Structure 1
Amino acid sequence: MTNTNNGYRQRPKTTLAYSVKQHVLLTVIYIVLGITAVVVLYPILWIVLGSMNPGDSISATSYLPERLTLSHYTYLFTEKDYLLWYKNTLFIAVMNMILSTVLVVTSAYAFSRFRFPGRRQGLMAMLVLQMFPSFMGMIAIYILLLQMNLLDNHWGLILVYAGGSIPFGAWIVKGYFDGLPRSLEEAAKIDGASSTTIFIKVMLPLSVPMLTFIAVSNFIGPWMDFIFARLVLRSDENKTLAIGLFEMVSGRENNEFTTFAAGAVLVAIPITLLFMMLQKYIIEGLKAGANKG
């Protein structure tokens, strides 16, 4: 009886200690999440208010401004070629997303399911290429595009982006394909399906989360890139958003910082909408790549 009573008396203490520990842990987690949210949202709120701040100085922006204006947004579309820059960037990003996804997925499937001479060497080459930053090949890329007459051409820039996305993307998607059961393909072959049919009707539907992750990644890259766009594109009619916005604040005479902030806010809208609509698939693709890579 004594042991039973002692045990009975100790249970509430253990439960109470566990409950206190859980509350403390949750409190710490909420504090960390709150600090993280403030750190992330602070520059966003600051740049949005700066884009509506009268004048050209963004340093005068406060969280309780006396007056807000949308004149900088109007100025972008009336006095600048912002709509043309937006159109050029959207074309490059969408075309690169389509071409890169096709190249990455087909090459990853080939490396995952087929055995051919040079396969191991090709995988090692892609692995080694990921160790070097892409801008190390800027001179070689410039010479190649010059010889192919693709300088100051959107398609030249698209080919650069698409080729550069293959090593990293193919390794991730190959790991995903390796984790898919081969029994599905064997059953399709027994039914008389060709390799192309199996790839299109069996493998691709099973790979929607990973394909979404690859597609979104290849859309964001050109949308935000400045280095290669500046290297390849020269004429005013081919400028992208990154180049056009940079020229607003570069040089002694260019000090349109509030207009730059307005342009930056508009640049972020498509990416934000893309993440909001495809968040479920992006997270599933990340988890699939981590588990099966």
Structure 2
Amino acid sequence: MSRYRRMSFNKFVRNVFAHILLFVLSVIWLFPVFWIVLTSFRGEKGSFVPYFWPKSFTINNYVQLFTDTQQFYYAKWFMNTLIVAVFSCLLSTLYVLGISYALSRMRFKMRKPFMNVALILGMFPGFMSMIAVYYILKGLNMTQSLLALILVYSAGAGLNFYIAKGFFDTIPKAIDEAAVIDGASRWKVFTKITIPLSRPIIIYTVLTSFLAPWTDYIFVSVIMGDNYDKYTIALGLYKMLEKEFITTWYNRFAAGAVIVSIPISILFIIMQRYYAEGASGAIKG
């Protein structure tokens, strides 16, 4: 009995320490978020103040973010980002699902070498190719355009097929074979059987494909140059922190950061269950 009590006490102590650690980590993670929200409502201007809690609160930072367009065009940049993210997401999802299904279900020559090469190429960060990509776009006269951003973000999406392929591998091939025996084509098997069974990985792919262009700064800064009208949110917010603008625009920058985080937060809250299922299904595969 004493041994059982000792084990229960040790388990209780471990749980207490685990919860304390999780609480500390959550505070560390949430503190910057809480601070940027407070700053977005702060009435005092300036990038630095010697106190944490604002002395006055206002919503003018949000209002002026959209109405003061003499220097920055936040509303236009928001729409540019949304357009690029939506179209990049659609193209990337189509690429990833198509390549993943082909590699999961079909057997053809050079399949294994292709997967190995794709795995190696996927280990290199995308920004290593940004100079080459820029000169290719410049040769095609496509720089400083939203179409260029959409092509850049979606072109390499096919290399990210491993997670989706792992999920497709968990779907029994006997289902496909039964449908083929009944006269279904590969396209019908894919669209009528595999896709309805793959909602978790589709949502996972959509979320990851949407998030990349929504938050990217590096490729936008290289491709867009000084074309203010075609900026996206990430580059526009960075420009607000330049020395000549930071005093006036810092609070508005915080407001812009809060606004840009809302759509992606809503998406993750609504679809987090499917996101987790997609990732876990791929790991099992």
Are 1:76 and 1:82, in contact at CA under 8 Å, matched by a contact in 2?
yes
| Cα 1:62–1:281 shift into 2, 3 Å | farther
Deviations 1:49-102, CA, capped at 9 Å, x for gaps: 111112332432744332111111111000031111110000111111111000
Please give the alpha-carbon distance, in whole angstroms, between the structure 2 residues aligned to 1:143 and 1:48.
Answer: 40
Are 2:200 and 2:278, in contact at CA under 8 Å, matched by a contact in 1?
yes
Report the RMSD for the aligned CA atoms in angstroms.
1.5
State the 1:125 CA deviation. Answer: 1.9
State the 1:252 CA deviation. Answer: 4.0
Counterpart AA for 2:46: S
Please give the alpha-carbon distance, in whole angstroms, between the structure 1 residues aligned to 2:278 and 2:190.
Answer: 18
SS at match of 1:60: coil
Q: What residue number does 2:235 align with?
A: 243
1:17-166 equivalences under 5 Å are 17-60=6-49, 62-80=51-69, 81-166=73-158
State the 1:232 CA deviation. Answer: 1.4
Are 1:50 and 1:58, in contact at CA under 8 Å, matched by a contact in 2?
no
Identity %: 36
TM-score, scaled to structure 1: 0.91
Q: How many residues in Structure 1 have an aligned counterpart in Structure 2?
A: 280
Please give the alpha-carbon distance, in whole angstroms, between the structure 2 residues aligned to 1:275 and 1:269.
Answer: 10
TM-score, scaled to structure 2: 0.94
Please give the alpha-carbon distance, in whole angstroms, between the structure 2 residues aligned to 1:89 and 1:228.
Answer: 13
1:160-175 equivalences under 5 Å are 160-168=152-160, 170-175=161-166
Please give the alpha-carbon distance, in whole angstroms, between the structure 2 residues aligned to 1:251 and 1:14.
Answer: 66
1:279 matches 2:272: yes
Deviations 1:15-74, CA, capped at 9 Å, x for gaps: 211221221111111101110110111000111111111233243274433211111111
Q: 2:179 aligns with which of 177, 182, 188?
A: 188
Please give the alpha-carbon distance, in whole angstroms, between the structure 1 residues aligned to 2:239 and 2:203.
Answer: 33
Are 1:56 and 1:259, in contact at CA under 8 Å, matched by a contact in 2?
no
- Max Rg structure: 1
Q: What residue number does 1:217 align with?
A: 208
Please give the alpha-carbon distance, in whole angstroms, between the structure 2 residues aligned to 1:61 and 1:164.
Answer: 46
Are 1:245 and 1:263, in contact at CA under 8 Å, matched by a contact in 2?
yes
Are 1:46 and 1:61, in contact at CA under 8 Å, matched by a contact in 2?
no
Are 2:38 and 2:53, in contact at CA under 8 Å, matched by a contact in 1?
no
Counterpart AA for 1:291: K
State the 1:253 CA deviation. Answer: 4.7
SS at match of 1:54: coil
Name segments (4+ residues, structure 1) moved above 4 Å. none
Give the gaps of 5 or more residues in structure 1. Answer: 1-11
Deviations 1:204-253, CA, capped at 9 Å, x for gaps: 11111111111100101000001111111242221111111111112445
